[in-house]
Chains A and B, each alone.
Chain A
């Protein structure tokens, strides 16, 4: 399963819980605070065995553009906590049918915590959804969402969750997308996808081709950033929009 190495520097600098605004920023000034390192530190596996001497908190930018294979090869030295989801293969009649129909356009059938998902090639998502709906009874699209992994060559993971009333089964469909790459819209297959895809666009900037009304849904139309991308910290906002429309200097 080399497809899912999580970036270990996932905490944006912002995300570390700052004790309070007035506190000294240098980490050495508060060695007494017992919980701080635990909440702020990256997973211990990142330090590859060597005892970390100093506060290992900020100076660890994740190695840029780490190909999946290299990451997996470098990792075995780490003592514990694999940075990959411990998914197991998933086999059933359904997977056999789908594998027969789509061949290598589906790259993996996996299962984690009893929840099944499949990983497919970008172009294959819509045909698979169509087949799932028409041939296998997955009539209900539960959710469309995305996850952003900025350090991967294909940083976006688009997730469709579908459910079948007959089989009482829920599965996830994952698609990897490059930055700026357009995804195909699921609206022709499931009408529900309309708003859900608009929300994905709103939050991540993934555009959907063939969507009838591709515009923002929750944020104002003129907003410029896509808030759920990892490079936008939680305090980031569209200052220009705030100034123009609300007549205040800043929203913070």
Chain B
């Protein structure tokens, strides 16, 4: 009997609708309005790569040890270096990082002995061409330059 009444008065459906309407209360809205509202990205986020430079003298921190490229499962880092005849140390010449193949696993970052290579919180990596996804040393040091449009 009780069940029949429940059926007739659509109790089960009304119950569901109550949940739906409760959620529509403005204070329960969780959607983020992305381009206007920037998401808070976590500190450890693994996003766009960056090659850190020493803030004091503007020199790169990278010692061209090649460990990051050896650690990378995708072999996408190419470190170009030449030996400095005076200091007998390796100097970084080029550094390419192909983000189109990168899985942002963080193994390169873990491998770097001097914390030169770092995956940053920057998450907007889209580009219009495949070449745009290959970062050279300059991009890595200065950050991505987003394409700007004027209307």
In the complex they form, do A and B come into direct contact, defined as C-beta atoms under 8 angstroms apart?
yes
* Chain A residues with a Cβ under 8 A of chain B: 17-22, 32-33, 35-36, 39
**CB proximity of B67 to chain A, nearest CB, Å:** 7
**Cα distance, A19 to B67, chains bound together (Å):** 10
A22–B70 CA distance with the chains assembled, in angstroms: 14
Closest to A23 in B: B78
| B interface size (C-beta, 8 A) | 10
The residue of chain A having its C-beta at the shortest distance from the C-beta of B77 within the complex is A20
Establish whether residues A33 and B78, one from each chain, have CB atoms under 8 Å apart when the complex forms.
Answer: no
How far does the alpha carbon of A33 sit from the alpha carbon of B90 in the complex, in Å? Answer: 12
* A33 interface neighbour in B66, B75, B80, Cβ under 8 Å: B66
CB of B100 closer than 8 Å to a CB of A: no
Name which residue of chain A comes closest to B66, CB basis. A33
Q: How far is the CA of A22 from the CA of B77 in the complex (A)?
A: 11
Q: Is there contact, CB below 8 Å, between B67 and A20? A: no
CB distance from A178 to the nearest CB of B (A): 35
Provide the bound-state CA to CA distance between A17 and B78, in Å. 13
Indicate the member of B70, B77, B80 with the most A CB atoms within 10 Å: B70
In the bound assembly, the distance between CA atoms of A35 and B65 in angstroms comes to 10
Considering only residues 44-77 of chain B, those with a C-beta below 8 Å from chain A are 66-67, 69-70, 75, 77
In terms of DSSP, what is the predominant structure of the interface of chain A? Answer: loop
Assuming A20-B75, A22-B80, A35-B70, what are 12 further A-B pairs, CB within 8 angstroms? A17-B70, A18-B75, A19-B66, A19-B70, A20-B69, A20-B77, A20-B79, A21-B75, A21-B78, A33-B66, A35-B67, A36-B70
Lowest 7 A-B CB distances belong to which pairs?
A20-B78, A35-B70, A33-B66, A22-B78, A20-B69, A19-B69, A20-B75
A17 to B111, CA, bound (A): 16
The minimal Cβ–Cβ distance linking B88 to chain A, given in whole angstroms, is 11
B66: chain A residues at CB < 8 Å are: 19, 33
| Smallest beta-carbon distance B112→chain A, Å | 13
Q: Mark B102-121, 1 if CB is under 8 A from A, else 0.
A: 00000000000000000000
Residue pair B67, A17 in contact (C-beta under 8 Å): no
Q: How far is the CB of B123 from chain A (nearest CB, A)?
A: 26
A35 to B111, CA, bound (A): 12
Most chain A CB within a 10 A radius of its CB, from B66, B67, B77: B66
| Cα–Cα, bound, A36→B79 (Å) | 15
Q: How far is the CA of A20 from the CA of B77 in the complex (A)?
A: 7
In whole angstroms, what is the CA distance A36 to B65 when docked? 12
How far, in Å, is B11 (CB) from chain A's closest CB? 41
Residues of A within 8 A of B75 (CB): 17-21
Q: A36 to B75, alpha carbons, bound, how many Å?
A: 13
What are the residues of chain B within 8 A of A20 when measuring CB–CB? 69, 75, 77-79
A17: B residues at CB distance < 8 A: 70, 75
* Cα A161 to Cα B75 with chains together (Å): 35
With a cutoff of 8 Å between Cβ atoms, the chain B residues found around residue A22 in the complex are 78, 80
